[in-house]
Amino acid sequence: MLSSNSELKLKLNPTLCGSSSLQVSEEVRAHLKTPLFDNWQWEESEMLLLLQVMFTDLDILTAFHIQLQVLQNFLFQVYCHYNHIPFHNFHHCFCVTQMMYSLIWITDLRNKLNKMDQLIMLTSALCHDLDHPGYNNVYQINAQTDLARRYNDISPLENHHCAVAFRILSKHFLTSPFCSRCILATDMARHNEILNKFRAIQATFDFNDKDHKEVLMKIMVKVSDISNEARPIEVAELWLDCLLEEFFNQSDMEKVNGLPVTPFMDRDKVSKPSSQTGFISFLLLPLFTELTKLFPCLEVRPAISQFIPN
């Protein structure tokens, strides 16, 4: 938690987030750089401070001459644009960004990619689910929602997240078209397409190749987005409960509205173990396996295997 010499509790106000008022211990800073970090021990106000630490410790503010208050205002606006829903909320935003931050340190990407690339990845992780309504793309399309019509049934949620992100960025921070590419890559309908592109360049991967870097950055955001099961079991299982709650809410709504019921969200058919078997085997493990080929320093956390029934 906050270091012992920090008596003031952070308020949900960006003007009170300054490092002059609060300090984060070196122990917390070190733990923040690992996938072992436990988000459940922290209040949302403290998460805002820790997000600030991530940007400052990667020297992003110095590199781009960004004033601390500008960053604080930006982070607070991001917080305000996440909804109070079971899974795709500000806590999820924080966890995805923290995982991205830890992977940047573990794989030494801070020395392999330039500061703009690091800024894009961190910002993409932070903004990737802005204003998520709690119902996925399949629901949006089947229910013919305003979002689905607006984006012609093409990644409606991810396009919406990008639109909200650019609205915030244009007022408070910076803009980069690359952020949109990374956020759009989190649409699971594009999972195999992006993973296969990454597989195809593994043998000749070059950090100086712009196209190679773009695919890697997309993979990094995707890994961070679905990495809960790679965390310690006591952290991961609580996230699974949140995810299933959101899934079940959607299937309940689908039944009420006479829409096709998404099978893996049906509370009458899905259990915690069954929900994880296919996800881990066919989505998470292949993604981690490919990333580990490029970065042997990574290894899949034991927590993953504990979700798969014998």
Question: Can you say how many angstroms the Cα of residue 104 is from the centroid of all Cα atoms in its chain?
Answer: 14
Among residues 162, 157, 38, 180, the alpha carbon closest in space to that of 102 is found at 38
Residue 172 to residue 61: CA distance in whole angstroms: 13
Nearest Cα residue to 127 out of 85, 181, 63: 181
Is 88 a residue of the active site?
A: yes
Helix (H, G, I), strand (E, B) or coil at 33: coil
Q: How far apart are CA 17 and CA 213, in angstroms?
A: 33
Q: Cα 71 vs. chain centroid, distance in angstroms?
A: 18
Active-site option among 88, 160, 161, 172: 88
| Bind-site residues for Zn(2+) | 92, 128-129, 225
Find the angle CA(192)-CA(193)-CA(197) to the nearest 5 degrees. Answer: 110
Number of alpha helices (DSSP H) and beta strands (DSSP E) in the chain: 17, 0
Task: Output the known binding site.
Answer: 88-92, 128-129, 225, 276
E runs forming strands in the chain: none
Going by the annotation, the residues of the binding site for AMP are: 88-92, 129, 225, 276
CB atoms within 10 A of CB 131: 18
What would you report as the CA-atom Rg of the chain, rounded to the nearest whole angstrom? 19
Nearest to 129, CA basis, from 22, 5, 246: 246
In angstroms, rounded to a whole number, what is the distance separating the alpha carbons of residues 159 and 151?
7
Please give the positions annotated as active site: 88
